[in-house]
Each structure stands twice: as C-alpha cells, then as structure tokens.
Structure 1
Amino acid sequence: MTIYVEQGENLHRAAVAAGVHVDAAWGGNGTCGKCRVLIKKGRAKSAPSPNLRQDRVEKGYVLAGL
C-alpha cells in the first residue's frame, strides 16, 4: 500500500485516515514505541526516541506518532 503524506502531517493520522491500522497504545505519541512503521520508499522525519533503536532507524523505521 502506498500512502502519501504531506510535509508536516502526522504519519499516524495519515495512516489511520488511509485505513491502515498502526498500533498506538498511547494515542500515537511515541511513548511506547508500538507505532513503529517501516518507510520503504521516500523519507519521513521522526523525533529521536529512546523507544526506537538506532539500528532500526538506519533500516528506515520511524515512530508514526512523532
């Protein structure tokens, strides 16, 4: 599935609006790290978080709620 997200738009909200379930136990604010998603094409900025290991960041993972 491809989801286009405008610059500045929250990735979690865009995914939900597109009908994609993203586990977000804390409302998608990056608190627990369960909103982790893999960006396969393109780029997404995500605030640094202790809930996302650096090796996963290097593979393209971001926290959708941040």
Structure 2
Amino acid sequence: MIGAVLLGLVVLLIGGCACVFWAERGGPRWARVVATVTLSASELLRSSDKKRRWGQNSSSQGDD
C-alpha cells in the first residue's frame, strides 16, 4: 500500500516537472496551470523548510 502511494507521488512529481518544462515552451493552458501549481507548491515547501531550519538553528544557539 505504501509503495503504491509513493509511486503515485513520484508520478505526480514527474508530471508536474514535465508541465513546467512544457509550459515554458508555450504549452496549452492546462499545462501552464499545472506548472503554476507545481511551482507554488515548491516555493511553499522551500519556505517551510527554511523556517524549520531557522527554528532549529536559533534553539541550538541558545544552548551554547
């Protein structure tokens, strides 16, 4: 079951990257929408990772 979920996530990831590539070259409107969603999700994950890392660094500096 977990393998099927992971496979589905990989397929979505590859499809999103393909839509970003295709949209950059003037693909159809739906590909541009999927590309926008993919890039937005990427930015959201990046910003949450930075916040999490910042929180870990600030707490570890207080222990010194």
TM-score (norm 1): 0.21
Q: Which has the higher strand share?
A: 1
Which structure's relative contact order is higher, taking Cα pairs within 8 Å and 6+ residues apart? 1
Q: Which has the higher helix share?
A: 2
**Structure number with bigger Rg:** 2
TM-score (norm 2): 0.21
